[in-house]
Amino acid sequence: MEVQTPKALRRSTRIRVEIPVAVTSLDRVRPFVERCVAILVSAQGCGLRSPRALPAETPIMIGDLPGGGSVTARVASCLPLGSDGKYFLIGAALYTHGNFWGIADPPEDWNVAAPRDPALGSASPAGTASSLNPPSGNSPAVSASPAGKKAWPYNLFTTSTDAHSSRK
C-alpha cells in the first residue's frame, strides 16, 4: 500500500516569488479591491499577501499580471500572517490552470493545456490575451473585445425589441 503525503498529492511545483497584483472580488456581497503580492505561485493557484482577509469560496479576479492580463480564481483559504493582524495569506485556486505569472522556465509539471478564462483580459501562459469561451459548450468562442457589444456574453441576446416567441 502506497502512503500519500501532502507533497505527493501536490499537482504542480510551487515557486516563491514577489509579484504585485490587483485582487478584486467578483462577489457583490463581499466587496474587495486591494493591491496584493503573490508570494507563492503554481500552475493551479497562488498564495497572496493581502492587507485584508477575504472569506473562503469568494470568486476573485487577479489582475495586473506580468504581460498585463488577468485570471479568475476562488479563495481556497485565508489565514492571518503573524499575530498582529496586519497581513493575511489568501490561498487562491485558479479556475484555469497555466503559467500566468510570467515564469521564464516553469517546472515540467506546469505543462498544462493553454488556458481559457471567461474573464475579460485573461492571459495565456505566455502573457498574451487569449480567446474567450462561454461557460456552456453551446456557443462558439469569440475573440476578446471588451468594448464591443457583439462579443460574448452580449451576443447571446438579440438586439431586436420583439417579444420572445413563447410570450404573448
Over its length of 168 residues, how does the chain's per-residue pLDDT go in tens digits? 444 455 545 578 999 999 999 999 999 999 999 999 999 999 999 999 999 999 999 999 999 999 899 999 999 999 999 889 899 999 999 999 999 999 999 999 988 544 444 443 444 444 333 333 333 333 333 333 344 444 444 444 444 444 444 444
Whether 54 and 41 have beta carbons less than 8 Å apart is answered as no
Instruction: Give the residue range(s) of CATH 2.40.10.220 domains in the chain.
Output: 1-130
pLDDT of residue 38: 97
Contact in structure between 44 and 26 (CB atoms under 8 Å): no
Whole-number pLDDT of residue 72: 97
In whole angstroms, what is the distance from residue 139 CA to residue 135 CA?
9
- The CATH class for the domain spanning 1-130 reads mainly beta
The one-character DSSP state at 137 is T
Contact 111, 11 (CB under 8 A): no
